[in-house]
Amino acid sequence: MKTLKGTGIAKGLAFGKATYIKGIKYEIPAHSISKEQSAAELAMFHEALGKSRLELQDYLQADHISDSEKEILGTHLEIVNDPDLKEQITQAITQDLHNVAKAINLSFEKAILFFKSMENEMFSQRAIDFEDVRKRILHKVLLQEHDSFAELDADSIPIFSEISPSEVSLLRKHNVRAYLASGIGQTSHVGILSRALNIGCVSNLEDQQLIQEGDYIIVDGENSLVIWQPNDEALEYFAQSLQIEDLILQKEERLKDIESSTKDGRQIDIALNIGLPLEIDQVQELGSNGVGLFRTEFLFLDGDHLPTEEEQYQVYSEMAAKIAPKPITIRTFDLGGDKISHLIHSPHEDNPNLGNRGIRYCLTHSQILRTQLRAILRAAVHGNIRIMFPMIIDVDDFLEAKRILMRCADDLYDEKAKYNAEIPVGSMIEVPSAALSSCALARECDFLSIGTNDLVQYTLAVDRNNEAVSRYFIQHHPAVLMLIRATLINAARHNTPVSICGEMASTKEYIPLLIGMGVKELSVNSAVYYEVKSVVRNCDAKLHMIVKNFDFSTSLPKVDELVYRTLKPYYSSDRRDSNDSL
């Protein structure tokens, strides 16, 4: 037995067999097939080819596509339509009896090697184009024939070298309770989703090489550790911890029907952050104030085609109807950064977090945005929906997005469709320039929502997904707090409601500070909902006195002290809910 330390990303306790997962991207199944199987393999090839063709045609029709992008995509379409290549792959399947992935791989390999062997820049570029198209077609085939999680069950603890948000959602389907991975930051989307789905996660485990395939391990996300080959004593600890978890759950449920207000009677609305439609049920289960952030980009991370207007309409209207009259804030797609979808063409960017992300991507591919906005406007007939735009940098950005929304409403009117254009429209405040422009934004928006994950990333120039700089990811840095305070003050001037939806709101240590600063709405992960509510119920008027006049143009240690002072009351004995604990 040995205890291995790592970084706890998501709470969760599980005991099971270590199962190493190899990325499907790099594993191309290669085997022979029988003559009878060749027809099915050939059909798979045709389907993958057709999907790739459609996808490329869609990208080519996107708005504002640059000439150079057009040229590249046009070349890729030519390769997809290349009759010689198609013939070669067909022969490799029907005559050489290779499975479809191997046939595609080998046929492309020949072309790639041919172009690579020519010492001419134009030809080496051609090799890159072939490589790109090979990946596109293979990806479609591999998704059809290869589920790398097929072997997983509730007794498996998968170990990844790399994991994407869509793979996290797949883990849930396989009833996985915890997993290990490398290089995951606390506020990465993989981390956020794992916490939302209650799947334990420990990242960057020391001495991970000790763990062999099939070894028994205990993963304890809360305590950031893994017990390798646990002895009887450790298994006893595991069993007891599970019982304690059950007790905590029972205690938390008692918080469901009581008010979310501070001791001095200030109402604090707590809504949920969700990323998957099925999480909507948590609103009623926990008794939250609706959904403060629905990260719709997760609809893009799965599946084999862009979600259509009809599909999105079904999803949004069902979710809104389920929790009506409670509100659901639907954030338009925030693709880019670490949320890369295989369904959209994203040219390589050296700095994706500073690149074509969020509203920027949507404004340059307005057909994708229009499809989503039309679906939301139609769904708003069935419930209390609010729209929010991500990565807005200033009021002009917001107004441009809003104009597109208004045009969608006009189109729906002309089409005599049922829709509701009287819905609140708001902006995320997650870029420092947006916080500094919050006066103008508060005037134009129906509400604001502060995304502290990106606000910290962009204010402190610290990649939220890079473990190597995680010590700079200081959510309560005075510079960040000054931007939050500026936003709260500007919003108050215009009577515009503000919520905090970044991970800061889900971190119990910061709740008193935020409430002391005047925050009245929080949007948090379902896993910490009761914990946050419990802290809120123990906050009192003293906080306001401590924080109100605090000068944030100060050093970090002074703010550390402030966080400690605002937290201190929870360690005193006059607790409002004697069963609540931090």
Report 316-355 residues binding ligand PEP (CB under 6 A).
334
> Which range in 211-219, 397-405, 448-456, 533-541 contacts Mg ion by CB under 5 A?
448-456
- Residue closer to Mg ion, measured from CB, 102 or 189: 189
> Given candidates 58, 167, 220, 454, which one binds ligand PEP under the rule CB under 6 A?
454
Q: Which does 194 bind (CB under 5 to 8 A by kind): Mg ion, ligand PEP, none?
A: none
- Residue closer to ligand PEP, measured from CB, 6 or 358: 358
Binding mask 50-69 for ligand PEP (x = CB under 6 A): --------------------
Task: Please state the φ and ψ torsions of residue 295, each to the nearest 5 degrees.
Answer: -80, 95
Question: Are the C-beta atoms of residues 108 and 130 closer than 8 Å to each other?
Answer: yes
Cα distance between residue 62 and residue 368, in whole Å:
8
> Given candidates 312, 453, 475, 525, which one binds ligand PEP under the rule CB under 6 A?
453
Buried b (16+ CB within 10 A) or exposed e, 120-146: eeeeeebbebbbebbebbbbbbbbeee
Largest CA distance in the chain: 81
Q: Which does 501 bind (CB under 5 to 8 A by kind): Mg ion, ligand PEP, none?
A: ligand PEP
Q: Which does 295 bind (CB under 5 to 8 A by kind): Mg ion, ligand PEP, none?
A: ligand PEP
Cβ-proximal residue to ligand PEP, closest one: 451
189 part of the active site? yes
Write down the least CB distance from residue 451 to Mg ion, Å.
4
Catalytic residue among 189, 342, 365, 382: 189
What angle, rounded to 10 degrees, do the helices at 67-80 and 38-61 form? 160
Cα distance between residue 476 and residue 271, in whole Å:
22
Three-class SS state of 558: helix
The count of chain residues that interact with ligand PEP, using the rule CB under 6 A, is: 10
- Whether omega before 478 lies within 30 degrees of 0, making that bond cis, reads no
Q: Which does 185 bind (CB under 5 to 8 A by kind): ligand PEP, Mg ion, none?
A: none
Write down the least CB distance from residue 502 to ligand PEP, Å.
3
- Residue closer to ligand PEP, measured from CB, 29 or 277: 277
Tokens of 102: 């191997």
Three-class SS state of 230: coil
Cα distance between residue 164 and residue 23, in whole Å:
10
Binding mask 295-314 for ligand PEP (x = CB under 6 A): x-------------------
Report 453-472 residues binding Mg ion (CB under 5 A).
454
CA dihedral angle for residue 286, residue 288, residue 291, residue 295, rounded to 10 degrees: -40
Cα distance between residue 44 and residue 509, in whole Å:
53
Tokens of 399: 């107004």
Assess 430 for contact with Mg ion (CB under 5 A). Answer: yes
- Residue closer to Mg ion, measured from CB, 100 or 425: 425
Report 466-525 residues binding ligand PEP (CB under 6 A).
501-502
Catalytic residue among 201, 408, 445, 501: 501
- Closest C-alpha among 473, 571, 505 to residue 7: 473
Tokens of 302: 């799965």
- Residue closer to Mg ion, measured from CB, 451 or 512: 451
Amino acid 292 reads G
Q: Which residue has the tokens 């606000």?
A: 455
Residues near ligand PEP (CB under 6 A) are 293, 295, 334, 430, 451-454, 501-502
By annotation, the residues acting in catalysis are 189, 501
Judged by the rule CB under 5 A, the positions of this chain that interact with Mg ion are: 430, 451, 454
